[in-house]
Each structure stands twice: as structure tokens, then as C-alpha cells.
Structure 1
């Protein structure tokens, strides 16, 4: 019997009833939550809170079928479905509370996207936010800023400004931003609705003569109508320091780049590290497994250390390249609308002071460019915002795995062969039994029960212990029962009953006992059974029925060894196809050579000797 994935089958035996209970429990839990059979991603739609709900400005490429809103307790509070293409700005109506976080689920035909937004404070006053080079996710950043933001001397950066209107429907605003040794920025505008936002970027450059200072913004909002409220004034400031590139290069370092991770940076420990496994041929036939080159297949999370007691704006980029030629891998390049000219994915972040900062970068795959398996490397670079100078870079490995087409072909052929073998056995069952005498049938049934009792039962109970003691080399113990003892008893039976169909019948008895008493009955085991039995029957026919001859026994040992080695290899291919298992090549060939051929060879020789002694007793 092949032993490539025998561990998987035996474990299913003990876990069968437990899994049923667990399955029922999961059904009960799933009935309490939304049932989403889609891939979750994130999106960047612009969500603006209005008095009666939200206005959602959808991305241009979005073809949304429905929008669902959940509160901070994940209770659905609103839902909108679309019969056709949605408008550029869609309204979703619900009552919201100040300061609470709401989750928005955007559903397409094949995907689900999530986005979270915090509801603003319901106040007549609005809000002013500043950021370099972009706004901080923390809305109180300007008030809570305790460390300076680093700006490069004589280098241009950008100032991000956002004004959010209050509850006043119609108002005008006047914004004045004071820069050190520079002309102030003055902006005037008008709001026409509550909670309306205005956002803009302004290029700024700090001279080297200013080592530190503040950027101060003063805002005044006036209601258009006098009876709508009073004027409102606020101010925000950003504390900055200027540094040279040389002063910053020794303060920033790349620590690690984990892959694969989730978009939030959580390492996917159930997957191989530094490895990207693409869907196999069978999975690509399923709509939910089809690769869309416009969406990431996974993420890598890069950890960057900032040793300064100041916030540093940086640009992090990553690309996949050949290990020798250093050329970019085109089929792993991001789509043209989200990548740089160097086939890189990138992100701009503010490094928090005196800590390690994590940034997640997406990894894309274009299936139309024929992805190739192999070993590549990820090149991660960090540069300061506003300049092209690289302050640090590092290389990390990447292995691309494509499920072997050969395993799929072998599985298909083995499945077809199993179906044909089962059909033949059912159609010729009576003729097969009629050729054997009652004495031989009793012996075959007796040996089938003995094989079950001395092979299947011990290996079943010892497999957990052997896995604990030897791990992947547990077959050194289990193969004694599955190979040596099994073939010893099988060949002993063939010596006594050297007739066609003996192997099929004794294997059927063993299979039925194993399935009825231990529950180890599955289509995979049945396929392996017919592949193994076919090879053994052919080997027995080629070696000759007279096993009293030592030459015939030696030939039978070689043929049975080759047959069982082939069955073990087919067993591995079936496991790779159906169970998404991955094995090192050396491990497969070790199992095929040692567990498949050598142990079988020894078992056949022992069985021939045992059979000659038993034959004397029978005669």
C-alpha cells in the first residue's frame, strides 16, 4: 500500500466524528454572521458623512453591485443594491453617531472590498488638518504632535491641507498659512453643504538657514446667513527640523520584509515563508480562484527602523528581479496605473521616532504573461521624500511555486484507471470468485483479516506516536507494517494460492475491513488501491506463479518493488493535486526508493520463505 499520504488518511479516521461536531458548531456560528464566499480586499473610495448618511465617491474602476454598512458592533444598519452601473457619487442613508467607526462593504460579482471610516463630531464647527507630505490618519495629530517632522534642507516637499465644514450648510472660509522665510499661502473658498471637505497640496521648501520652526495655519469660517451661527476660528501648526541627507542615512535601516502577509501586516503562518504559491490548473477553473492582475495576490510587510527622535517622511519601494541579471520580473510587476516606471510598488509613510515601522506593499501577478516558477529576489529600497537618493536597500528571497501539471495529469489518469478498475471488478466479480475453490477463498479471506489486524491496526495506532518522535521520517516505523509485514503476508498467500485475482480479492477484503471498522474509506484510497493492485497483478504474472523457485522470487521482489515505488510516487502526485501538499524532491525520492522499493523488496523475500513453510502445512 502506498504510504505517501497515508498519514493524512489515518488522521481523518480519528478526527472524523470530531470534525462532524466542529462542522455543526461552525454552521451555528456562521448563521450569526454574514456569509461571504469572496476574497476580501481594501479600497479607497472617498466617504463624506452628511446629515442623513454618507456620500461615497466611488473609484473609477469600481463596478459595485451593492454597498452594506455595519456599525462598530458589526451589525448591519443599511444596504443599497444596484441593478446597473453605480453613479460616480452614491448616497447611502442611515443615522450615524459622532466618533463611531463604521465599516462599508463594497460587493462586486466576484470580490468584496472593505473600508472603515470614523464619523466626525456633530458640531457647528469644522476641522482643520495639516500634514507633511500627507495627512496623518490621526485626526488629532497637529494637537498631539510632540516630535518634529524632518525636512530636507534645500529639498522641496509638500504640505497637505484639509478643511472639513461643520453643520452650517452654507459658509465661506479664509485660510492663511505662514511659512518660515516665505510668502504666506492664502486660500478663500465656499462650502455649500454640511461636512463638506476641501483638500489641497502645496509645494514648500525650507532654506538651510532655518534649523527648526513651525508652519502655522489660521482658518476662519463665516456662515453665509447671519442667523445660522457665529464666525468660527481655529489654527494648527506643524513643528519641523531640517537635516541633510548625510545626517539621515545612518538613522534609517530596513530590518525585515515578511511575505506572505495580510494587508494589515499579519504574517500568514500557514503558508510557506518567502514563497508565493499560484493557483493550480484545477483552481483556475473556479471563478473565485482566477487571478486578476489589477488586485494583489498577497502582501509583503517591510519593517523599517527610525533611530531619530523625530518623524521622517520616506518613500518605500519594492520590486522583484532576477537573481543574476537583476532585471525586473515583468509578470510580477504591478499594473501600470499603480506602479512606477521601474516596475515597483511603492508607498509613502511617516516613520515614527525611535521605533520600527511596518508598511505593507502589494504583490501582483499577471497570468497573461505566463508566470514561471523559480527562485527570485525582492529588492526593497528606502528613499527620503522629495529626493532620489537611496538611504537604504536590502534583498530578500522569493520563491514562485506553480503546481506541477504532471501531478494533475497523473491524478487524472489514476482516477480514470480507478474508475475502470472498479467497473471491471463489479462486472466480473462472480467470474473472479468462481475460478477459486472454497478452500482458497477461505484462505484469501483469512489472510485479508490477518493483514488488516497485523498491518492496518498497528500502523493506525502508531502513526501519531511515530509522527511525534520522527516527524516527516515517521515512515521508518510505519513502513515496517505498511510495506515489509504487508508484503510478507501477501507473498506468503500468493505462494499458497498462486492464481489470478488473489491480490484483488485479498486487497478488497482489507479495504472493506479498513473502511467498516476504522472509517478509512474514501475515493482517494480507492484510487490508490486500484493503482497498486494493477501493478502487483502485472508483476505477479510476469514473475511466474511458481514462487518455490528462488529465481522467480527474486524477479517478483524486483517487480513488486518497482510497482510499489510507482504506486508511492502516484500517491504523492494525488496528494499534491487534491490536498495542495508540497514536498521536497529529495523527500519524494527517499520515500519512493526506501519506503516504496527497498522495504517491499525485503518483504517479498521474507514472504516467499514464509510461504514455502506454510505451503508444507497446507499440503
Structure 2
């Protein structure tokens, strides 16, 4: 009970602090004072939580006006907004009346707020004169409600277009990134991989274990990030938009739009956008989701145009173009994935058809040893690999395989090769791999159709290479490994290292292609090559040498 009271008090304190901080971080421009019947909020131009607006000469801005009833009584509100003559309202709604007196435009309106917290708001388009000098201008407002009057005066900082453009700059455009804007070097830069159409995507999600309740149109295919630097001392409220354009015609590409784009205006349906507030004297990374589906966006080379505007204004601060490649189905990954599926289905189909002959070649004690080695590979490879995966990925990023490969390749192949030396029969490695896969699925939950393909492909390719290179059949290699002295085993050890290295390199390449086809991930060519050569071939060859030495020692004390 004491612990519960401590946690309750701590959570109450944190909520209280969060409430105070929220009031400090997101202040209203003209909050209601104690006793005021209505709260008034005016932003000129409309911004993202800022007290002082920034406008650009020669642009059109939006003035945001909002009043809210703070009492239980009905409030009859009369408002009067006074704008400098250089700030001309345009396209006013019928609720406003405008008069010009001397150096000001006077806007008046009235509304009724019947119940507490009922509010009324409007956006007023304002065109700023192009020949007005930069500086600070004042907007005055008077709000009367049931006989009580509030007077407000709001500053509007005006800058020239060149000054504003110097304040805010796009430092860099990153594509693709994760949802936080972090770049993964494994993936091909400036490349967008389209998702499959909804029908085919349904079956892919079943195979990958991602579930079925998803459509490509509702989930981003990738994310991009825009680095924006604000050199001004004050925060800037910005509207960031991104469009995919035809590089020749510069017209928007159909299909590059967020979900439910039909609810947006026609000019906004072909772009993605984000409203952000960039602190002064800082650089902010702004992630943006990207949507697309096969059949809605063509493939090829396009221009990704990123535009920065002041929020609440039509003033464009900067436009930056980035050439991008849009890809859909790749023929090679599709062929390799289908071939791998046929190979797996054919292999296990033949084994099932001839299971009696297959298992008759194994003595009972051999099957027990295979099961023990399969369990040993799970304990020494899968469990440490699972524990170290997140840690190594956080520290080494895309090169985490240099650490996890110590378990996934060196220790794994040391155990598998020593097992093959004890039981040099076709099917030994496949049975041990099936045992490891079952334990991983049951204990760690790593069980899906894709993991079955990964494990099965690895086991089958290794079995093929062991047979071709003469380890699981009668050959000079198998005789050298079983009879030669320590000094004479190196030629045979090099041969088996070559065979296992080629098998695992091929397995790694195939698994990459399966991932590309099913998950629509496009890895950089250099990353695939590096992974295949180091993790697939080099680490496996090293583990194989250790496996030969361990297997010969075990053979001295092991079964016949």
C-alpha cells in the first residue's frame, strides 16, 4: 500500500507539472484574465503557438480570431479589429463589416455564445502591401461582452522576402528515413519503393506475419526528413510541403498524396505537408510520411520538390528539388523468392514422400545427437543473438552484423560442421536446422512463413554444397577429414570452408531478395555485397575451420 501511495503521489505531481508546462509552452496570444467573461485569441499571422507573428511584405497572410465563453451565462460579443492601412483584408465573410478611417482598416463583427466554452472563430485573409518597410506593426482589438470591454494590442513583425529567406533555410533533404527522420545507410538513398496493390498486399502480409487488416493506401511506404535551419532569434512557424513532380513537365504526379486527400482542397491533394515550429537559432529535423501504391504512381525518375512557407502566409521562403527513383516490383527478387519457395516445397515434399528411406539411414543415437546439436545451436546462437540484436543495432547501426555474425555464423557453423563430421550423412544439417527453427519459434516466438523460408533456404543450400564438395558423400575430402593426421587435414578443411562459405553467402543473398520482394525494402548494393562477403562468406569460413577441429576431437570420444 505504501508503494502504491508513493506511485500515486508521483503521478499526480507529474501531471501537475505537465499541466503547468503546457500553459507555458503553448500560450494564447490574449488569454482571459480572472473575471473576463470571454477569452480572446488573436494570431496575425496564424502561427503554431507563437506570441508574435512574422509576416512578409507583398504576401497574403491569415489572421486568426477566436473568442470563447468563460461563464455559464449567454454572452453577446462585439469585436472591433484595427489594422494598419498596409494590411488590407480581402475576401471577408459576410459576418464582417469593413470601414477605412485614416491610416487604418476597421473590421467589426458580433456573435452570441450561449453556453460555457462555446467558441467562435474565423480566418481573415489579409494582403500586405509590397512597398511597406520592414519593422514592427501593431494590430489593435476591442472585445465587448455584456458591458465589459477588453482591449488588446498585438505586435506583427514584418520582414522583406529576402530577409525571411535568409532566416529560414533547408539544410538537407533525407530519403528514405524512419518515422523519426533517422537515415538507415542499408537502404538505397533517394529511392521510393511502392507497395503492392491491396489484393496482392493481403497475401504478402499473411506470409510475412504482419496481419491482414491493412491497406497500402493507409500506411506510408516510407518517410522523408527535411532539415530546416532557423537563423532568426525568434521561433518560426512553417508549413513544409513535398510534391513528386515530372522532371520534364514539372507537373504533379498523380497518386502521391496522403490518405483521405479527397477531403482537402484540389490544390492540396497532390502533396504531403507538415506544420512545424522551428526554434530560433537552431536546426530542426522534420519527418514526413510518404504514401503510394502500385497502380497509382508510375515508376521511374522524378523530382521531389520541397517547399517552405511561413504558416498562415502564401510567402514561399525556399524551394529545393531532389531527384528520386520510384521503383515497384523488381523481377530478380520475385524470381528468387518464387524459386526459393519451389525449392523448399520440393525438398520437403520429396522427404515426406520418401520419409521411410530418409530416416532409415539414421541410427537412433544419431537422431538424438542431431537433436542435441540443434538445441545447442539454438542456445548458443539464437538466444545471444536475440539479446544482442537491439544493443548492437543501437551502437553499430547497419554494421551490427559484424557483432551478431560472431554468433549467427562463426559459432553456428562451428557446431554444424562438427556435427557433420560426426554424422556425415545427407540430411544431418537439415534436421538440426529444423530443430533450431522449432525451438526459436516456440520459445522466442520467431515463427512466421518468412522465418520458415529463411531457415529452410539456409539448410537446403548448405546440404547441397556439403554434398557437392564431398563432405556428406564418399570422396577424398571425407576420407581426409576422417583419417588424416592433424597436419594433413588443411586441404580438406579449406575445401569444406569454401563450400560452407559459398552456401551461406548464397543463402544471405537469397534472404535479402526475399526481404526485398516481401517487405518492399530496397537495400543499397554496397550493403548487400558487404554483408554477403563478410557475414555470409568470411565469418562462415572461419567458423567452418573451428568446426573441423572441434569435430575431429569429438569424433575420438563420440559414437561410431
What is the TM-score with the length of structure 2 in the denominator?
Answer: 0.60
User: Of residues 216, 233, 237 in structure 1, which corresponds to 2:140?
Assistant: 216
How big is the shift at 1:221? 1.2
Count of matched residue pairs: 468
User: Of residues 320, 334, 337 in structure 1, which corresponds to 2:244?
Assistant: 320
Matching residue of 2:307: 381
Query: In the alignment, does 2:292 pair up with 1:365?
Result: yes
Matching residue of 2:53: 149
1:48-447 alignment runs, 5 A limit: 125-134=37-46, 136-137=48-49, 141=51, 148-180=52-84, 181-207=103-129, 208=131, 211-222=135-146, 231-257=147-173, 260=177, 262=179, 266-267=180-181, 281=201, 282-284=203-205, 286-292=211-217, 300-309=224-233, 315-321=239-245, 328-334=252-258, 335=261, 337-338=263-264, 340=267, 343-347=270-274, 353-356=280-283, 361-369=288-296, 372=299, 378-383=304-309, 390-395=316-321, 404-406=333-335, 408-410=337-339, 412-417=341-346, 419-421=348-350, 423-424=352-353, 426-428=355-357, 431-432=360-361
CA–CA distance in structure 2, aligned partners of residues 126 and 252 of structure 1: 36
Checking the alignment, whether the CA contact within 8 Å between 2:416 and 2:429 is kept in structure 1 is no
Change (3 A) 1:137 1:247: closer
Q: CA RMSD in A?
A: 6.0
Query: Per the alignment, in what secondary structure is the counterpart of residue 241 of structure 2?
Result: strand
CA–CA distance in structure 2, aligned partners of residues 348 and 510 of structure 1: 51
Could you list the per-position Cα deviations for residues 15-55 of structure 1 after superposition, in whole angstroms to 9, with x for gaps in the alignment?
xxxxxxxxxxxxxxxxxxxxxxxxxxxxxxxxxxxxxxxxx
Could you list the per-position Cα deviations for residues 87-122 of structure 1 after superposition, in whole angstroms to 9, with x for gaps in the alignment?
xxxxxxxxxxx9999xxxxxxxxxxxxxxxxx9999
Query: In the alignment, does 2:508 pair up with 1:585?
Result: no
1:479-558 alignment runs, 5 A limit: 490=420, 502-504=425-427, 508=431, 524=452, 527-528=456-457, 531-532=460-461, 535=464, 539=468, 545=474, 547=476
Query: Per the alignment, in what secondary structure is the counterpart of residue 270 of structure 2?
Result: coil
Checking the alignment, whether the CA contact within 8 Å between 2:433 and 2:456 is kept in structure 1 is no
CA–CA distance in structure 2, aligned partners of residues 566 and 289 of structure 1: 33
CA–CA distance in structure 1, aligned partners of residues 288 and 388 of structure 2: 42
Checking the alignment, whether the CA contact within 8 Å between 1:315 and 1:385 is kept in structure 2 is yes
CA–CA distance in structure 2, aligned partners of residues 545 and 355 of structure 1: 70
Could you list the per-position Cα deviations for residues 384-416 of structure 1 after superposition, in whole angstroms to 9, with x for gaps in the alignment?
578866432335676768684346434533552
Query: Per the alignment, in what secondary structure is the counterpart of residue 162 of structure 2?
Result: helix
Query: Per the alignment, in what secondary structure is the counterpart of residue 365 of structure 1?
Result: coil
Checking the alignment, whether the CA contact within 8 Å between 2:67 and 2:120 is kept in structure 1 is yes
Matching residue of 1:29: none
Change (3 A) 1:363 1:533: closer
CA–CA distance in structure 1, aligned partners of residues 443 and 75 of structure 2: 75
Change (3 A) 1:449 1:169: closer
How big is the shift at 1:175? 1.0
* Structure having the larger proportion of residues in helix: 2
How big is the shift at 1:424? 3.8
Structure 1 gaps of 5+ residues are 1-70, 75-97, 102-118, 142-147, 223-230, 495-501
CA–CA distance in structure 2, aligned partners of residues 191 and 519 of structure 1: 62
Checking the alignment, whether the CA contact within 8 Å between 2:420 and 2:472 is kept in structure 1 is no
How big is the shift at 1:380? 1.9
Change (3 A) 1:217 1:333: same
Matching residue of 1:61: none
Moved more, 242-251 or 267-276: 267-276
Query: Per the alignment, in what secondary structure is the counterpart of residue 247 of structure 1?
Result: helix
Change (3 A) 1:391 1:134: closer
What is the TM-score with the length of structure 1 in the denominator?
Answer: 0.55
CA–CA distance in structure 1, aligned partners of residues 72 and 338 of structure 2: 68
Query: Per the alignment, in what secondary structure is the counterpart of residue 503 of structure 1?
Result: coil
